[in-house]
Amino acid sequence: MEYNFRAIEQKWQQHWADSNAYTVTNDASKPKYYVLDMFPYPSGAGLHVGHPLGYIASDIFARYKRLKGFNVLHPMGYDAFGLPAEQYALEHGVHPAVSTAKNIGTFRGQLDKIGFSFDWSRQVNTSEPRYYKWTQWIFLQLFNSWYNRASNKTEKIDTLIVAFEKDGNAAHPIPAFGKAQADNSIHFPERFTAEQWKSFDEKTQQAILMEYRVAYCGYGEVNWCEALGTVLANDEVVNGVSERGGYPVIKKRLRQWYLRITEYGDRLLQGLQTVDFSDAMKEMQSNWIGKSSGAEITFELISPSLPEKGLGDEVIDHSPLTIDVYTTRPDTIFGVDFMVLAPEHELVMEIVSDEQRAAVEEYVAYVKSRSERERMAEKKISGVFTGAYAQHPFSDRKIPIWISEYVLAGYGTGAIMAVPSGDERDHKFAQHFNIPITNIFGDAYTGEDAVTSKDLVLHDSDFVNGMKAKEAIEAVIDKLVAQGIGTRKTNFKIRDAAFSRQRYWGEPFPIKWVDGVAYPLPESALPLELPHVEQYGPGKEGEGPLSEVKDWTERNLETNTMPGYAGSSWYFLRYMDPHNDTEFASKSATDYWRQVDLYVGGTEHAVGHLLYSRMWTKALYDLGLISFDEPFKRLLNQGMIQGSSRFVYRVRGSNQYVSAGLKDQYEVDEIRVDVNFVDGVEMDTEAFRKWKPDFSDAEFILENGKYICGSEVEKMSKSKFNTVNPDVLVEKYGADTFRMYEMFLGPVEMSKPWDTKGIEGVHRFLKKLWRLFYNEAGLQVTNEAPTKDELKVLHKTIKKIEEDTERFSFNTSVSSFMIAVNELSDLKCTKKDILAPLLVLLAPYAPHVSAELWSAIGNEGSILDAPFPAFHAEYLVEASKEYPVSINGKTRAQIDIALDATEEQVQALVLANETVQKWMEGKPLRKLVFVKGRMINVVV
RNA sequence: GCCCCGGUGGCGAAACUGGUAGACGCAGCAGACUCAAAAUCUGCCAUUGGCAACAAUGUGCCGGUUCGAUUCCGGCCCGGGGCACCA
């Protein structure tokens, strides 16, 4: 009987679907295990072989855990809202709801063929009202919350109102004053008393509360993408252009919704220590959060109204202007030679001298005109002196104040103290503008480069002379605090996340505007359904398409929609209880499933999705809605599968195509060809002629009778003709072969180019496995007792598969299966006691063929729930190899031995070993030295 | 520029806390079966020298630690990824 994979796979996929074999219950009696894939947005392009890589890895692991006796949650769904889905719809002139539904259909069909164990009864789709009802609901929780820095927790906004009524905001200063003012006409002080609070009208009170809300609306500099007609979050902008489409992005001041993720910076950083992410991932996240510590120092301005100018009488008697700077190196304070303000700094126009005013205005205008992209592309040194001076806090030096675009308005205080001898950028700036440099590092500073080491003693630095950075930083901060002119300060690079899009295809905000105040809709109004519109392209400047919907604007509803990451920030919770109509997920469900034990996906979401979901989880945790504050316990990043493109070489001006080895003899043009009719590098010239009409009468200049293509590894994409469709491979070799081959390519975490060539080897393995069971005469499996050799093969394999699967080394697992089948073939093993457990081991990797053979040899029950075979070390205990070694003239033997052997077993084995006996020559055994798990040194 | 990760046959790769480097697979070569082909099976397959047994060399390069280094340490070269005026 032949291995008929098509019939087998169809039969079992049907069987498992009909019997709901993958449906899981929230069964608290079994230990749980949650394996999650990053859900896809259903693009219309269809899958290529790179897409299922992570899904196959997670499927193997989920099936493995199930065999190990866990109740495994392994769901799948669709991230259907957001820019990619909408852009696809726009490009194809179809309504996003229609294209999304169609793409989901295609996607599902492709996935089903590969034989995944997803519990589709738990499927979620972020664009369905019954799902986004709860996205909106969670948004309302965030809107109705504030971050209490004192308790370090997200709390209900009511608790803040109570605090205001009692003590004003003395204990809870506004986190970023002015940031949340959507309406510039409302004014309120930064600090207020209880009485003041009570005296404010509703509008002012609401404006104040907005300054605290975790989800808030305000004016801010946002990344505006004209081509996409929307605002983008920082992580959606790469090198000054949009991540999606590569369109230019400019800074623009707009009304925007934000998430106050900055308040969670410290916890997001600390939480990284409790999760199992790769070092690279943790580093990317901590770089993005960008915590630094130092001091904020107040510099006092020297009044420009100097006596010789004769303006003395005119000066109003207010206290002198001050400028706060942030520095991580307060120890270098005696090296301050100038200060620099960001051109956007609010004091620039106040401090500028009359002589410098024109130059400063010109420079500010110039900076404003420059796009983000230009700034990044040409980092030339630029700046202007303001004509103003500040007083050095500890000496009588006059510090000139400059402005320059190298100082960013959005970080720290938007102003710095410049220490050219201790900072590269300050050094270059000083050199460029010929500002004299004070050396505080003695001989270590040569005048060429700034000294950035923290391990050198300071010179010419008054009370910190002779100290190294660490000590001096403390000394300076102490003195600043004592004099009331500075504080210890921590800063974060992370900014609040822009949470609104001026687009159609997203969750509507459950917010209503009344007289310039945002009010939440009542829960009973959820879901607030996205209205159907015909015109869903970008709307008028700063406003989304919803602003064109009359019914919508009449109800004064918010016209922005939520960004793509809204729905994906909590979907892992919905899988736990997907049909719940009264809660986003019941507490009992979230308490049972808790964190995702294994999350599989690409690294591209490092600073977007992963950070946002971590933040949402922390907020929900603080509010008592779930009982864990990190969503993902362990993260596995699968590598990218690259395409391997093929080229032909057309002799210029002809229809002759020359093989790669001979192309240097001609003047040629390089043309991409579809990899699917190239076998390795040898092209099927007939298929090429048929490919496009242009090539139908192509002639070929061959080498050794073959046409050899050129090749290059690049990203897999349709336009490069290097995509390989999994459907084709599944049709030709079967899902089991495809799954195992994807794993066999190399470590999952590693990026590698796709190469179809080797798939035959894996297919041969499955055929060989099949022949252990069946020959021409039929089923050969017997109930005879296995031999020692057969048991050894089995248990060696159990051990390998278990270890390798646990550490995600799926490629070596596949090799181990091949070795096992080769060895059992050599032993002509047909024993059920060996083959049945082997099938269980194989079931996660090649579920269909395993199930077929498992039932063929008369096993009861489903292989999906068969117990994972137990490993017995005693079958492996025997010396397999000896190596004589001479060390320092003494003879030693090294013996390879079973890993799990007990000490007595080792003793017995060593003494029985022939080689050792020979060396010992009757002398007593002196010492056994374990060298490495399974190796021992014998000292005679 | 800074921070990660990697560099092993013709190719994809393995070697888990230092212990026979190249498992397993692809490609290649030789052979068996066959009228023939496919399928299958067997053997060979790092480099150099040799008919051979064998010998020498060999995990990007240079040096170190060790009885022993792909693995650990120091310095360099190359490739991939991330960050990039964050004071």
The C1' atom of B75 and the CA atom of A458 lie apart, in whole Å, by 30
Check whether residue A154 and residue A254 sit in a common domain: yes
pLDDT of residue A644: 83
Check whether residue A653 and residue A798 sit in a common domain: no
Does residue A6 lie in a domain region? no
CATH number at residue A120: 3.40.50.620
Considering A637, A657, A673, which residue would you say is the last residue of a domain?
A: A637
**Measuring CA to CA, how many Å separate A620 from each of A153, A580, A584, A689?**
10, 17, 11, 61
Check whether residue A453 and residue A351 sit in a common domain: yes
Q: Which residues pair with A488 in a beta bridge?
A: A295
Long-range contacts of A548-552 (CB under 8 A, 24+ apart): none
Considering A461, A477, A492, which residue would you say is the last residue of a domain?
A: A492
Range(s) of the domain holding residue A79: 30-138+574-637
Does residue A174 lie in a domain region? yes
Is the CB of residue A94 inside 7 Å of nucleic acid strand B? no
Q: What is the pTM of this model?
A: 0.90
Question: What is the nearest nucleotide to A381, using C1' and CA?
Answer: B85
The C1' atom of B86 and the CA atom of A638 lie apart, in whole Å, by 30
Considering A492, A527, A562, which residue would you say is the last residue of a domain?
A: A492
Does residue A69 lie in a domain region? yes
Is the CB of residue A580 less than 8 Å from the CB of residue A625? no
Give the side-chain half-sphere CA count within 13 A for A736: 30
pLDDT of residue A920: 52
Question: What is the nearest nucleotide to A880, using C1' and CA?
Answer: B20
The C1' atom of B73 and the CA atom of A927 lie apart, in whole Å, by 30
pLDDT of residue A909: 62
CATH number at residue A911: 3.10.20.590
pLDDT of residue A544: 81
Check whether residue A379 and residue A452 sit in a common domain: yes
Question: What is the nearest nucleotide to A2, using C1' and CA?
Answer: B39
**Measuring CA to CA, how many Å separate A666 from each of A201, A649, A659, A660, A683?**
83, 9, 11, 11, 19
Check whether residue A471 and residue A341 sit in a common domain: yes
Count up the domains in chain A and report the number. 6
Is the CB of residue A280 inside 7 Å of nucleic acid strand B? yes
Six-digit token string for A395? 């000496």
Is the CB of residue A406 inside 7 Å of nucleic acid strand B? yes
pLDDT of residue A185: 75
Is the CB of residue A290 inside 7 Å of nucleic acid strand B? yes
Q: Which nucleotides on strand B sit less than 7 A from a protein beta carbon?
A: 3-5, 11-20, 23-27, 39-42, 67-68, 80-83, 85-87
* Residue A602, number of CB atoms within 10 A of its CB: 15
Q: How far apart are CA A862 and CA A405, in angstroms?
A: 67
3-class secondary-structure state, position A851: helix
Check whether residue A738 and residue A798 sit in a common domain: yes
Is the CB of residue A939 inside 7 Å of nucleic acid strand B? no
CATH number at residue A367: 3.90.740.10
Is the CB of residue A325 less than 8 Å from the CB of residue A413? yes
Q: How far apart are CA A830 and CA A719, in angstroms?
A: 50
User: Number of helices (H) and strands (E), helices first, in chain A?
Assistant: 30, 35
CATH number at residue A849: 1.10.730.10
**Measuring CA to CA, how many Å separate A316 from each of A320, A360, A426, A820?**
10, 24, 35, 92
Question: What is the nearest nucleotide to A429, using C1' and CA?
Answer: B85
Residues (332-361, chain A) with CB within 7 Å of strand B atoms: 342
Q: How far apart are CA A200 and CA A250, in angstroms?
A: 37
Does an H or E element contain A145, and which?
Answer: strand A145-148
Is the CB of residue A714 inside 7 Å of nucleic acid strand B? no
Q: Residue A523, exposed/middle/buried by CB under 10 A (0-12, 13-18, 19+)?
A: exposed
Q: How far apart are CA A668 and CA A652, in angstroms?
A: 5
Asked whether the bond before A527 is cis by omega within 30 degrees of 0, the reply is yes
Q: How far apart are CA A588 and CA A577, in angstroms?
A: 9
Which parts of A149-291 are beta strand (E)?
153-156, 215-225, 230-232, 237-238, 241-242, 250-259
Is the CB of residue A930 inside 7 Å of nucleic acid strand B? no
* Residue A694, number of CB atoms within 10 A of its CB: 11
Is the CB of residue A809 inside 7 Å of nucleic acid strand B? yes
* Model pLDDT for residues A9-27, shown as the tens digit of each residue: 999 999 999 999 999 999 8
Is the CB of residue A375 inside 7 Å of nucleic acid strand B? yes
Six-digit token string for A265? 């910076």
Does residue A19 lie in a domain region? no
Annotated ligand binding at A153? The verdict is no
Is the CB of residue A774 inside 7 Å of nucleic acid strand B? no
Does residue A883 lie in a domain region? yes
Q: Is the ipTM of this complex over 0.90?
A: yes
Check whether residue A706 and residue A622 sit in a common domain: no
Residues (491-550, chain A) with CB within 7 Å of strand B atoms: 491, 493
Is the CB of residue A765 less than 8 Å from the CB of residue A845? no
Check whether residue A488 and residue A503 sit in a common domain: no
Question: What is the nearest nucleotide to A816, using C1' and CA?
Answer: B24
3-class secondary-structure state, position A306: coil
Is the CB of residue A115 less than 8 Å from the CB of residue A848? yes
Is the CB of residue A800 less than 8 Å from the CB of residue A810? no
Does residue A919 lie in a domain region? yes
Q: How far apart are CA A398 and CA A388, in angstroms?
A: 10
Is the CB of residue A760 inside 7 Å of nucleic acid strand B? yes
Check whether residue A154 and residue A183 sit in a common domain: yes
pLDDT of residue A376: 67
Question: What is the nearest nucleotide to A761, using C1' and CA?
Answer: B25
Is the CB of residue A931 inside 7 Å of nucleic acid strand B? yes
Six-digit token string for A757? 């060539």
Is the CB of residue A207 less than 8 Å from the CB of residue A171? no
Question: What is the nearest nucleotide to A280, using C1' and CA?
Answer: B4
Residue spans of alpha helices (H) in A595-723: 609-622, 685-691
Q: Which residues of chain A have pLDDT under 50?
A: 305-313, 315, 317, 879-891, 899, 931-934
Q: How far apart are CA A301 and CA A566, in angstroms?
A: 46
The C1' atom of B39 and the CA atom of A634 lie apart, in whole Å, by 45
Check whether residue A906 and residue A807 sit in a common domain: no
Is the CB of residue A171 inside 7 Å of nucleic acid strand B? no
Residues (434-493, chain A) with CB within 7 Å of strand B atoms: 491, 493
Check whether residue A537 and residue A649 sit in a common domain: no
Is the CB of residue A822 inside 7 Å of nucleic acid strand B? yes
Nearest to A261 by CA among A563, A702, A11, A48: A563
Question: What is the nearest nucleotide to A763, using C1' and CA?
Answer: B25
The C1' atom of B22 and the CA atom of A812 lie apart, in whole Å, by 15
Does residue A269 lie in a domain region? no
Nearest to A78 by CA among A135, A139, A127, A24: A127
Does residue A464 lie in a domain region? yes
Q: Which residue type sits at A663?
A: K
Is the CB of residue A438 less than 8 Å from the CB of residue A426? no
Question: What is the nearest nucleotide to A757, using C1' and CA?
Answer: B26
The C1' atom of B55 and the CA atom of A517 lie apart, in whole Å, by 89
Find the length of chain A: 940
Check whether residue A192 and residue A209 sit in a common domain: yes
Is the CB of residue A42 less than 8 Å from the CB of residue A81? no
Residue spans of alpha helices (H) in A168-246: 194-199, 202-210
Q: How far apart are CA A104 and CA A108, in angstroms?
A: 6
Residue where the block lists tokens 């620099």: A340
